[in-house]
Amino acid sequence: MGALFVGLMSGTSLDGADAALVDFSSGSPRTLAFATVPFSESLRDEILALCEPGSDSLELAGKVSMELAELYARAVEGVVAGAGVERRDIRAIGCHGQTVRHRPDLGFTIQLNDPARLAERTGIDVVADFRRRDMAAGGQGAPLVPAFHEAVFRDASHSRAVVNIGGISNVTWLHPGRKTLGFDCGPGNVLLDGWARRHLGAHYDEDGQWAAQGRSDANLLGRLLEEPFLDSLPPKSTGRELFRLAWLEDRLPDAYSPADVQSTLTDFTAHAIVGAIDRFCPATDEIYLSGGGARNGALVSRIARLAGGRPVAPTDALGVPVGHVESMAFAWLAMKCVRREPVDLTASTGARAPRVLGAIYAA
More confident call, 247 vs 10: 247
Integer angstrom CA distances of residue 179 from 135, 150, 173, 229, 288: 20, 10, 9, 23, 18
d(CA 242, CA 348): 20
Q: What is the mean pLDDT of residues 80-91?
A: 96
Three-state DSSP string of the chain:
CCCEEEEEECCCCCCEEEEEEEECCCCCCEEEEEEEEECCHHHHHHHHHHHCCCCCCHHHHHHHHHHHHHHHHHHHHHHHHHHCCCHHHEEEEEECCEEEEEECCCCEEEEECCHHHHHHHHCCCEEECCHHHHHHCCCCCCCCCHHHHHHHHCCCCCCEEEEEECCEEEEEEECCCCCCEEEEEEECCHHHHHHHHHHHCCCCCHHHHHHHHCCCCHHHHHHHCCCHHHHCCCCCCCCCCCCCHHHHHCCCCCCCCHHHHHHHHHHHHHHHHHHHHHHHCCCCCEEEEECHHHHCHHHHHHHHHHCCCCCEEEHHHHCCCCCCHHHHHHHHHHHHHHCCCCECCCCCCCCCCCECCCEEECC
Q: Set out the domains of the chain in order of their start, with CATH numbers.
A: 4-143+323-361 (3.30.420.40), 154-310 (3.30.420.40)
What is the pLDDT confidence band of residue 57, given thresholds at 50, 70 and 90? Answer: confident
Q: What is the per-residue pLDDT for 2?
A: 74
Nearest to 315 by CA among 164, 169, 202, 177: 164
Torsional class of 154: left (φ above 0), alpha (ψ -120 to 50), beta (otherwise): beta
350: Cβ contacts below 8 Å, ≥ 6 apart:
138, 139, 140, 235
* Residue 188 near residue 167 (C-beta atoms within 8 A): yes
d(CA 129, CA 95): 8
Is this model's pTM higher than 0.85 or not?
A: yes
What is the pLDDT confidence band of residue 160, given thresholds at 50, 70 and 90? Answer: very high
Instruction: Using a pLDDT cut of 90, give the percent of the chain over it.
Output: 92
Nearest to 63 by CA among 43, 45, 79: 43
What is the pLDDT confidence band of residue 85, given thresholds at 50, 70 and 90? Answer: very high
Q: What is the mean pLDDT of residues 78-92?
A: 96
143 burial type by CB count under 10 A (0-12 exposed, 13-18 middle, 19+ buried)? buried
pLDDT tens-digit readout, 179-225? 999 999 999 999 999 999 999 999 999 999 999 999 999 999 999 99
* Residue 32 near residue 15 (C-beta atoms within 8 A): no
pLDDT tens-digit readout, 273-304? 999 999 999 999 999 999 999 999 999 999 99
Q: What is the per-residue pLDDT for 134?
A: 97
Q: What is the mean pLDDT of residues 79-100?
A: 96
Give the mean pLDDT of the chain. 95
